[in-house]
Amino acid sequence: MIIGPKYKIARRLQAPIFEKTQTQKFSLREERKNKKRSFRKQKTDYGIQLNEKQKARMFYCVTEKQFAKYVKQALEKKVSSPTVTLLKSLEHRLDNVVWRAGILPTHLSARQAVAHGHFLVNGKRVYVPSYSVSLKDKITIRERSKGSKLFNELEEKMKETQSPDWMSWDNIKKEISIKEGTIAEKADLLFDLGQVIEYYQR
């Protein structure tokens, strides 16, 4: 997936959706921009929904086609609300799991590491960032990859990371386990999935 100039995209979407744009410089610039925006014409409902969709898509580093597929599947399921189903699909992507666990610092670095085959799911090597993990799955770092600089000081990094309640980390086995747990919308998502669903229901 081609992202492009991350800082410019974050500015356009008015949210620091990429980790390296979450800087004091970004915040100060946005503060000045917001003062100017207050005199501009307000966005339409469609414009707001489109912006939220783009923020969600860029946050998870998902292509337009793939994101639309996730939304379609969420709308077709009747067991729970579409927003919860969509969030679960996005959060259970293997690249997101690796990032949420704290093994790698950004979605993009986690996506690249998965694509390069650094991770195993239940003992099998997986190269697909969009691979969907399931309950009781075990995600481990490939033995030959453990010496990579990607995983330097991993134990210290993991001590500083608060993983979601639907996964656990074993520091001895260097293993992520997927367990029961509620996937709820978080403040750090920086977007409204309700608006995203409304965009696709237009």
Tell me the DSSP string of the chain.
Answer: -----HHHHHHHHTS--SGGG-SHHHHHHHHHHHHHHTTSPPPPHHHHHHHHHHHHHHHHT--HHHHHHHHHHHHH--SS-HHHHHHHHHHTBHHHHHHHHTSSSSHHHHHHHHHTT-EEETTEEE--TTPBP-TT-EEEE-GGGTTSGGGTTHHHHHHT----TTEEEETTTTEEEE--------GGG-S-HHHHHHHHT-
pLDDT at res. 172: 85
Taken in order of first residue, the domains within the chain and their CATH numbers are 90-178 (3.10.290.10)
pLDDT at res. 53: 93
The 10s digit of each residue's pLDDT in 174-185 is: 899 999 876 765
pLDDT at res. 191: 87
Per-residue pLDDT band at 202 (split at 50, 70, 90): confident
Q: Over 60: is that where the pLDDT of 38 sits?
A: no
Q: Which of 159-163, 173-177, 187-191 has the highest mean pLDDT?
A: 173-177
pLDDT at res. 2: 47
Q: What is the pTM of this model?
A: 0.79
The 10s digit of each residue's pLDDT in 95-142 is: 999 999 999 988 889 999 999 999 999 999 999 999 999 999 999 999
Q: Over 70: is that where the pLDDT of 34 sits?
A: no
Per-residue pLDDT band at 21 (split at 50, 70, 90): very low
The more confidently predicted of residues 17 and 50 is 50
- Cβ-count burial of 197 within 10 angstroms (0-12 exposed, 13-18 middle, 19+ buried)? buried
The 10s digit of each residue's pLDDT in 75-98 is: 998 777 899 899 999 999 999 999
